[in-house]
Amino acid sequence: MRWWLPDAGSTFAGPIDALFLAILIITGIALVLVEVGLVTFVIRYRGRPGRKAFYTHGSTRSEVIWTAIPAVTMVALGLISNHYWVLIKDKRSVPPNAYHLGVHAKQFEWQVTYPGPDEKLGTSDDFTVRNQLHVIVNQPFAVELTSEDVIHSFFVPEWRLKQDAVPGMHITAWFEATKTGEFELGCAELCGMGHYKMRARVFVHTPDEYKAWVAQQAAGGTE
Amino acid sequence: MTSVAHAKPQGGGGGHDAHAPMSFWRKYIFSTDHKIIGIQFLFVSLFFLLVGGLLAMQIRWQLGFPGKPLPGGGILPETMVSGGVILPEYYVQLVSMHGTFMVFFAIMPLLVGVYANFLIPLKIGAHDMAFPRINMASFWLALLAGLIMTASFFVPNGPIRSGWTNYAPLAARPDLSGVTVGQMLWCISIVVLGLSSVLGSLNYITTVINHRAPGMTWFRMPLSVWALFITAILGVLALPVLQGAAIMLLFDNVLGTHFFDPVAGGQALLWQHLFWFFGHPEVYILILPAMGMVSDIIANGSRKPIFGYHSMVFAIIGIAFLGWIVWGHHMFMSGMNPTLGSTFMVSTLLIAVPSAIKVFNWLGTIWRGNIRFHVPMLNALGFVSMFTIGGLSGIFMAATPVDIPLHDTQFIVAHIHYVLFGGSLFALFAAITYWYPKMFGRMMSERIGKVHFWLTFIFYNMTFFPMHIIGMGGQMRRIYDPTIYTFLKPQQPLNVFISYSAFALFAVQILFAFNFLWSLKFGKKAPQNPWDDNGMEWSLPNPAPHGNWERTPNVYRGPYEFSAPEAGDKDFLPQYLKLPSDRDPVPAPLPAGH
């Protein structure tokens, strides 16, 4: 049984998980405050014969306090979040040394196009593999997301990466995996009756492993 | 009609009964009485609530026990189940129709159709809605829309398969979704329903503006009326957008236009913008009336004026206004320009402010009260504690980086159910019990009501809280079989737990249904003002007659004067009660045509 986010597998996981934890603490404090207050009041001020409620229409000072504190907290949270949001999603944040892969989504499979030995996408030695995503550990990658038919969503939980693939649009999503091994790529946007089985295997290799795999694929081999 | 001073308005519809007695059909079926229309909405939407619940049970069966034959699944046709096992296409239809029925035909009509109709005229001291016949049309259109939507289960290829959100191009292309007639019926039903909502909303707005009794100033209106009024404004602005989008979607399906299909120059994201431009205000249509009614009930249960009445009003307006500029937070992962994501994040986070104001003012209201734990109060307190969780969990998704792993997972499902079940539905259990005596002249059983509340509260949390954890683990929404994913397999036991809890939650609702139906005939006869409340509606006999008051009543004070010093040995002071020190209000000029 897992009670937390999946194990961290990319550079995004650090800040996102930290932010998640921060929000959990803030909302946790608010939740405890409200629920404890509620239960305390409910017990303490339960109706008893002969008692009368305290007749008041409110207090401006309290209103100001409980308006200002959430407002300041939310604005601060927004500013911090925005910093990481830009880092992850903004086009200009894609590292210049990123390897580019093409990922074309269609009902119900992922077609991954690799640049081949020349490391350039859109040349004749490119090759396409169905439902297998191979990348190198500690190396920025950028996937060029497109869709054949309907909206799909590229989701690798360990990488904390999700990005819709929209027909008619070309969207770049980048990431840098930090853990080798095998993971899963799922579709997070309902794309039809086969949505649940739109699954690809994800392999994070060491550079040498990756090179060997590319060479094997370019030579027409299959895995 | 002149409204002159009279110490206590008399009930009894003498003026209207002067006409020939109405036939059963005229009185209960083709009624123009806002109270009867409210009751019609109540029965119809409770039926759709049951339908939505039955669909949810099948979803939970599949998620808890994928591949096992559905008990009783044998009665379903081969297009839905195979050997009793739910098929993937039927599963997607279940998910889509559960959302559609619950949002459009259960929660929205329960809150707005029932309580805007029933409460607005009664609470502002009006004889009826501004446009009673339009009101009747609004009910019949809603019923028609519901029947059209239900019919889609019985057409070839069945109902929609693209979620209640109908994201295009999936919903726009029969060749990709596999749905033909069902998609058309969805669009047509939504257009009809939208018409019903707009007619209803116009009526509510006009009634609140023009038909308030003398002395019922804006800031003497109960928060329930404020919330329903603001909701009606949201409705009249939001529903036409959805109708327009649904018509475009229908054209894409039937006429071969390509509004949403990029293959021929359309824009896939256009649908999402239109849908959520409606859809986010819709979320507030589904919660504001609940907040309003809960405020009335909490003040009553605490025997105290609502804490910070004015900030409560401005919080309602604030939520409604912010509700218009946050639709993009449903689209953070959609490929929309990330800079837009930043602006939508800020506006979304700001909604926490008016929401917090409301929660703290409810706490302030029960603080130093003299609390009566009647069933409506229990459910209202349940609302406050659960809405708090639903509101706080929203902050996770509002912060865009954190939304990346959570978007379109079960975490979202948990969040929406904390708001719509923990929020709206608990408020409805409170409201139904609270105004039942004024509707039917009898009380619902207090004992069954309490058992129902506690069991619902427990099983509800057992059902929906673990969904947060499953969502954190990454389980995507709307997937037919989570067990095919290695990373989701370890959490399958929690899915089984959720399913058992959901079945128990559903079973417990039999108590509510029984209590509701049994009390219609066998409930204790209700006194005129069973909850010792201040609202105008309690000056009327049970059930209130057609036309409500014989003579327009006067309003002498705000709605929450519980435990006021002037009340003497009583702990409430009704709005309609004239004290020796009160002066009669000057009636506002009557609107033209009266």
**pLDDT tens-digit map of B521-548:** 999 999 999 999 999 999 999 889 999 9
Over 60: is that where the pLDDT of B354 sits? yes
Give the span between the Cα atoms of A148 and B169, in whole angstroms: 11
Confidence of residue A50 (pLDDT cuts 50, 70, 90): confident
- CB B352 to CB A58 under 8 A? no
Greater pLDDT, A123 or B365: B365
Sign of dihedral through CA atoms A117, A122, A125, A128? Answer: positive
| Gap from B555 CA to chain A (nearest CA, Å) | 19
Distance from CA of A213 to the nearest CA of B (A): 24
pLDDT at B594: 52
What is the pLDDT, as a whole number, of residue B21?
A: 65
Judge whether B359 is closer than 8 Å to chain A, CB to CB. yes
Q: Computed from CA positions of residues B553, B556, B562, B568, in that sequence, does the dihedral angle turn out positive or negative?
A: negative
Q: Taking CB atoms and an 8 Å limit, are A88 and B162 in contact across chains?
A: no
**Contact call for residues B482 and A161 (beta carbons, < 8 A):** no
Task: Tell me the C-alpha distance between B267 and A217, whole Å.
Answer: 36
Distance CA A198, CA A186 (A): 6
Across chain A, mean pLDDT equals: 95
pLDDT at residue B543, rounded to an integer: 85
Q: Which residues of A touch B341 (CB under 8 A)?
A: 85, 89
B586 pairs with which residues across the strands?
none
Question: Under an 8 A CB cutoff, do B369 and A53 touch?
Answer: yes
Q: How far apart are CA B393 and CA A23, in angstroms?
A: 9
Q: Counting beta carbons within 10 angstroms of the beta carbon of residue B504, is it exposed (0 to 12), middle (13 to 18) or buried (19 or more)?
A: middle
Check B308 against A171: CB less than 8 A apart. no
Distance CA B142, CA B133 (A): 14
> Alpha-carbon dihedral of residues B349, B352, B353, B355, nearest 10 degrees?
150
Whether B54 has a pLDDT exceeding 50, the answer reads yes
Does pLDDT of B1 surpass 50? no
Would you state the pLDDT for residue B148?
A: 98
- B89, B161, B305 member nearest A55 (Cβ): B305
Average pLDDT, integer, range A163-167: 97
| B267: amino acid identity, one letter | Q
Contacts with A, B 110-139, CB within 8 Å:
none
pLDDT given at position B29: 82
Residue B312 has pLDDT above 50, yes or no: yes
Q: How many CB atoms lie within 10 A of CB B273?
A: 18
The count of CB pairs under 8 A between chains A and B is 299
Mean pLDDT, rounded, for B157-161 = 96
In this prediction the pTM is 0.94
Q: Which residue from A minimizes the CA distance to B360?
A: A66
Confidence at B8, pLDDT banded by 50, 70, 90: very low
What average pLDDT does range B223-234 have in this prediction? 98
Backbone angles phi, psi at B583, to 5 degrees: -105, 150
Q: What percent of chain B has pLDDT over 70?
A: 95
Q: Do B173 and A150 touch (CB under 8 A)?
A: yes
B15 falls in which pLDDT band (50, 70, 90)?
very low
**Average pLDDT estimate for B23-33:** 84
Nearest by CB to A53, from B304, B396, B476: name it. B304
Q: In whole angstroms, what is the distance from residue B13 CA to residue B20 CA? A: 13
Residues of A in contact with B477 (CB under 8 A): 188, 190
Nearest to A67 among B87, B306, B357 (CB): B357
Q: Considering only CB atoms, which chain A residues are within 8 Å of B571? A: 52-53
Which DSSP string do the residues of A42-78 spell out, in sequence order? HHHTB--TT---------HHHHHHHHHHHHHHHHHHH
ipTM entry? 0.96
Beta-bridged to residue A175, according to DSSP, are A141
Spatial contact of B291 and B427, defined as CB atoms under 8 Å apart: yes
Give B592's pLDDT tier (boundaries 50, 70, 90): low
pLDDT for res B14: 40
pLDDT in tens, B418-446: 999 999 999 999 999 999 999 999 999 99
Considering only CA atoms, which of B239, B130, B253 is closest in space to residue B193?
B239
Reported as a single tens digit per residue, the pLDDT across A192-202 is 999 999 999 99
Residue A41's nearest CA partner among B363, B423, B226 is B363
What is the Cα–Cα distance from B398 to B342, expressed in whole angstroms? 10
Give percent above pLDDT 90 in chain B. 91
Query: Which residues of chain B have a CB within 8 Å of the CB of A77?
Result: 349, 395, 399
Burial of B475 (0-12, 13-18, 19+ CB in 10 A): buried
Please answer whether residues B99 and B200 qualify as being in contact, where contact means their C-beta atoms are separated by less than 8 angstroms. Answer: no
Confidence check: pLDDT of B2 > 80: no
How high is the mean pLDDT of chain B? 94
A43 touches chain B (CB under 8 A): no
Q: Do A53 and B381 touch (CB under 8 A)?
A: no
Using alpha carbons, list the distances in angstroms from residue B437 to B46, B153, B531.
18, 37, 10
User: Given this model, what pLDDT does residue B568 score?
Assistant: 87
**What pLDDT does B593 receive?**
53
For A65-90, b/e burial (b = at least 16 CB within 10 A) is ebbeebbebbeebbebbbebbbebbe
CA B239 distance to own-chain centroid: 15
The answer to whether B383 and B301 have CB atoms below 8 angstroms apart is no
pLDDT band at B26 (very low <50, low <70, confident <90, very high): confident
- Chain B residues inside the 8 Å CB shell of A8: none
Residue B427's SS3 state is helix
Q: CB contact, 8 Å: A116 with chain B? A: no
Share of chain B residues as helix, strand and coil, in percent rounded to the nearest 5: 65, 0, 30
- Closest-CA residue of A relative to B481 is A196
CA distance B293 to chain A (A): 18
Q: Looking at the complex, report in whole angstroms how far the Cα of residue B246 sits from the nearest Cα belonging to chain A.
A: 18
Domains of chain A: 13-91 (1.10.287), 97-218 (2.60.40.420)
β-pairing verdict for A200-205 and A132-136: parallel
pLDDT in tens, B447-489: 999 999 999 999 999 999 999 999 999 999 999 999 999 999 9
Which domains can be identified in chain B, with CATH numbers? 35-567 (1.20.210.10)
Using CA of residue B104, residue B106, residue B108, residue B113, what is the dihedral sign? positive
